[in-house]
Structure 1
Amino acid sequence: MTTATARPSDRRISPVFLGILAVAAVTGWATWTGFAEQPGVAVFFFVTAAWVVSLCLHEYAHARTALHSGDISIGAKGYLTLNPLKYTHALLSIVLPVLFVIMGGIGLPGGAVFIERGRIQGRWKHSLISAAGPLTNVLFAVVCTAPFWLDALDGVPRDFRFALAFLALLQVTAAVLNFLPVPGLDGYGVVEPWLSYKVRRQVEPFAPFGLLFVFALLWLPALNGAFFDLVDAVLRGLGIDDFDTYCGFELYRFWQGSNEYCSVSP
């Protein structure tokens, strides 16, 4: 019987990931203390680095769950090191999500770990592997919003609060999008094992275009409004209002200049 094994070197955390984590820590400190002359610059690097960290954890969750479900090839692929350069599609998992954050303030779901599904037995295991990634985004959002829903914002600097709110927005949008049961997204991966073989074969050719289809739909004003109404409702449930997320996004895009509306908290 095979077990979830991997060499120690396969599990060693990558210096690349540690470097990204260090950037998030240093710029987070700069945002908290107001060390930077332009706070938006610190917020930009803090949120971007923290977003990449969450993407790495998202993919790690897929890989780790697959390892314990029977795919012992995961370790040799480097997925357990949290190194984003080891992903099969670094462009989809890292580059494009960061670009979408910069351009539109939305958490683009990635997906770039190759799992040998034939090694895994049981539909529940397959579903759990797919769900593990977006559940990581959910957990990240809960952590980011902890000061808000714990009513522990006293002493938290305004800019750091805004940065956390915007980072939480990215996590929630990524989780909501990824849980959609659309071919190519993790939500479909959750339900796919429960579909008939015929349905799976019919849907399979559309998987590479699922994400493009979702974003095309988001261009429709009605669907875009409904999507962000859902995201805002989730964030309000976690104690974050529209003012915090708006100002976080404005501060993140520092190159647009200062926004007087956010200069004083409501």
Structure 2
Amino acid sequence: MTTATSRRGDNRISPVFLGIAAITAVAGWAVWTDFASQPGFAVFLFVTGAWVVSLCLHEYAHARTALHSGDISIGAKGYLTLNPLKYTHALLSIVLPVLFVIMGGIGLPGGAVFIERGRIRGRWRHSLISAAGPLTNVLFAIVCTAPFWLDALDGVPDTFRYALGFLALLQVTAAILNFLPVPGLDGYGVIEPWLSQKIRRQVEPFAPFGLLAVFAVLWIPDINQWFFDAVDWVLGALGVHEWDTYWGLQFYRFWQGTPEISTFTQ
């Protein structure tokens, strides 16, 4: 009985996650109905909440794939509850990615769940576990952009449209950056099983600094321009205009002064 109860608890969605999802939903409603006196703050809550939800789903995808690949310790660690406080580094997994959004308007990935790789057999399984996270961001981006590429924006309030556009930008940047073959990121985790032991040992010391290195490199103007040109191209293919992401960011940074929709037209 104790074991069965524990296993049910291992898969029960955390109240913390449900609370974040509820805040996101309420903020989204406030943006849609223009209920809030400060639409920028509502956009901030909606986008930040949805971004944290996507981070939780990203880590959940890693954990669920690892569980089905042989790491039966995943459930006991609480990773299947979607509780961000259960991650190996809650600060790196949640707080740091949110700060990246606030500082640079980009969706950099956070920390990771701890997977006991020794329990897993087969290089393809190891690669799939690493790919599962960024593939979740890809799926999230497709969902966020669906009203755009389905040409279903009639009746959608402008502010909500801009918020969706900016959220889509975060998902696309997160997917692209996660798939980079940089130590410490999921892209490297995809190719790592196929590398020799010698190369793995040489690269391993750099893994803790991979995320910060990527963030630092993105501050180089030429690289930043090239990166966002690529992001804009992907978003354009999904029907999201630069106008949408630009104004989404402006509303998101409500502390700089929320723009009035009536003062500009597309």
Task: Tell me whether the two structures share a fold, i.e. TM-score over 0.5.
Answer: yes
What's 2:200 paired with? 200
Q: Which residue of 2 aligns with 1:89?
A: 89
RMSD of the alignment, in Å? 1.2
Distance 1:226 1:261 in 2: 30
Q: Does 1:37 align with 2:37?
A: yes
Q: Deviations over 1:182-226 (max 9, x none)?
A: 000000000000011111111111111111221221121111111
Structure 2, gaps ≥5 residues long: 1-5
Provide the residue aligned with 2:148 in structure 1. Answer: 148
Pair 1:132 & 2:123 matched: no
Match of 1:210 in 2: 210
- Is 1:181 matched up with 2:181? yes
Residue equivalent to 1:3: none
8 Å contact from structure 1 (residues 134, 179) kept in 2 = yes
Aligned to 1:258: 258
Quick one: structure 1 residues 139 and 81, their matched pair in 2 at CA, closer, same or farther if it must change by over 3 Å?
Answer: same
Shift in Å at residue 110 of structure 1? 1.2
**SS at 2:166 equivalent:** helix
- Contact 1:70–1:119 (CA under 8 A) maintained in structure 2: yes
1:229 aligns with 2:229: yes
Q: Provide the secondary structure at the position in 2 that maps to 1:47.
A: helix
Q: Structure 1: how far apart are the matches of 2:94 and 2:263?
A: 32
Aligned equivalents of 1:100, 1:62: Cα separation in 2: 22
TM-score (norm 1): 0.96
* Partner-residue secondary structure (3-state), 2:111: coil
User: Which structure 2 residues correspond to residues 52-91 of structure 1 after superposition, within 5 A?
Assistant: 52-91=52-91
Match of 2:48 in 1: 48
> What is the percentage of aligned positions where both structures have the same residue?
80
Give the Cα separation in 2 of the matches to 1:141 and 1:7.
32
Q: Which runs of 4+ in 1 moved over 4 A?
A: none
TM-score when scaled to structure 2?
0.96
CA distance in 1, matches of 2:259, 2:157: 17
Structure 2 Cα separation of the partners of residues 90 and 143 of structure 1: 26
Q: Is the 8 A contact 2:179 2:185 kept in 1?
A: yes
Structure 2: how far apart are the matches of 1:199 and 1:42? 47
Does 1:119 pair with 2:92?
no
- What SS does structure 1 have at the residue aligned with 2:37? coil
In 2, the alpha carbon distance for the partners of 1:261 and 1:80 equals 41
Q: Distance in 2 between matches of 1:41 and 1:260?
A: 13
**Aligned-residue offset at 1:265:** 3.5
Distance in 2, Cα, partners of 1:264 & 1:221: 28
Equivalent position of 2:245 in the other structure: 245
User: How much has 1:104 moved relative to structure 2?
Assistant: 1.6
**What code does the residue aligned with 1:82 have?**
L
Q: Which residue is 1:165 aligned to?
A: 165
Q: What is the CA deviation profile of residues 156-206 of structure 1, one whole-angstrom value per residue up to 9, with x for unaligned ones?
A: 000000000000000011111110000000000000000111111111111
State the alpha-carbon separation in 2 of the partners of residues 226 and 253 from structure 1.
24
CA 118–98 in structure 1, closer or farther in 2 if over 3 Å, else same: same
Within 2, Cα distance between the matches of 1:36 and 1:69? 46
Paired with 1:133 and 1:105, the residues of 2 have a C-alpha distance of 20
> Could you list the runs of 5+ residues in structure 1 that have no partner in the other structure?
1-5
1:262 shift after superposition: 7.5
Separation in 1 of the partners of 2:237 and 2:105?
Answer: 20
**d(CA) in 2 for partners of 1:262, 1:198:** 61
| Equivalent residue runs for 1:3-14 within 5 Å | 7-14=7-14
- Once residues 97 and 217 of structure 1 are traced to their aligned partners in structure 2, the CA distance between those partners, rounded to angstroms, is 16
Q: Say which SS state the counterpart of residue 44 (structure 2) adopts.
A: helix
Distance 1:30 1:213 in 2: 37
Q: Distance in 1 between matches of 2:174 and 2:29?
A: 25
Q: What is the CA–CA distance in structure 1 between the aligned matches of 2:261 and 2:160, rounded to whole Å?
A: 17
**May I ask how many residue pairs the two structures share in their alignment?**
261
Query: How far 1:102 moved relative to its partner?
Result: 1.4
